[in-house]
Amino acid sequence: MRAVAKPLLLNAFFASILITSASAFETPRIIPHSGPVNKPVPEVFQTLKSYFSDQLESKFVLVSADEKTGTIVAKQTGIDSARWTTWAACTTDALHMLYKLSDAAVTLTVKLEQAPHNTTFMTVTADFQGTYVLAQDQTTIDCQSTGALEDNILALAGAQPGGSSPSPVP
């Protein structure tokens, strides 16, 4: 029995390493997009704070704005399907493939840092979640960003095109 147990344990050990290694190569769900803005931090902060404070213009709710840390958090719910398909991609398992998207939400975090020559280094992250429904059953799925929303916010602040933003994930 011992002679059989050792190979089985080794096979289980190597299988767990392969599974762990495969998940290490998965694309992260939230990828920061960054770029330089040729304006001082206070000016960029005020521009973004004003934008996110105006729900009619931005469709976002300003959650917090801390000028000391240069951090702004804003949230949007009820995202229409045209913007949702441009901004996010949700992967569902086989069980949830029949479910219909009933609500889409994103939480944006903007971080501003002082850069040389009175400029700002800006980083934007977006955390997307889709709520899917089938009859009375509802499930919320963490979705992956395409990068489009983050790039739009960078452009709104005046970030230079072709900054250090990663390419959108297909």
pLDDT confidence of residue 165:
43
Question: Does residue 15 lie within any of the structural domains?
Answer: no
Maximum average pLDDT range among 27-31, 138-142, 155-159: 155-159
Angle at alpha carbon of residue 49, lines to 48 and 50, rounded to 5° = 90
Cα Rg of the chain, angstroms: 21
Question: Does residue 36 lie within any of the structural domains?
Answer: yes
pLDDT confidence of residue 101:
78
| Residue percentage of the chain with pLDDT more than 70 | 78
DSSP E strand boundaries for the chain = 33-37, 61-66, 71-77, 88-89, 100-115, 119-134, 137-145
Question: Does residue 150 lie within any of the structural domains?
Answer: yes
Higher pLDDT, 7 or 149: 149
Arithmetic mean of pLDDT, 143-149: 93
Confidence of residue 26 (pLDDT cuts 50, 70, 90): low
User: Residue 132: which domain range?
Assistant: 32-157
> With contact defined as beta carbons under 8 Å apart, do 139 and 96 qualify?
yes
Question: Does residue 146 lie within any of the structural domains?
Answer: yes
Report how far residue 63's alpha carbon sits from residue 73's, in angstroms, rounded to the nearest whole number: 5
Per the structure, how many domains does the chain have? 1
Question: Does residue 10 lie within any of the structural domains?
Answer: no
Question: Does residue 71 lie within any of the structural domains?
Answer: yes
pLDDT tens figures, 51-102: 999 999 999 999 999 999 999 999 999 998 889 989 998 887 777 677 887 8
Question: Does residue 64 lie within any of the structural domains?
Answer: yes
pLDDT tens figures, 29-44: 788 999 999 999 999 9
Is the pLDDT score of 169 beyond 50? no
Question: Does residue 148 lie within any of the structural domains?
Answer: yes
pTM (two decimals): 0.77
Report how far residue 159's alpha carbon sits from residue 153's, in angstroms, rounded to the nearest whole number: 9
| C-alpha distance from residue 93 to each of 28, 96, 122, 132, 145 (Å) | 18, 6, 35, 12, 18
CATH number at residue 105: 3.30.310
Is the pLDDT score of 137 beyond 90? no
pLDDT confidence of residue 87:
95
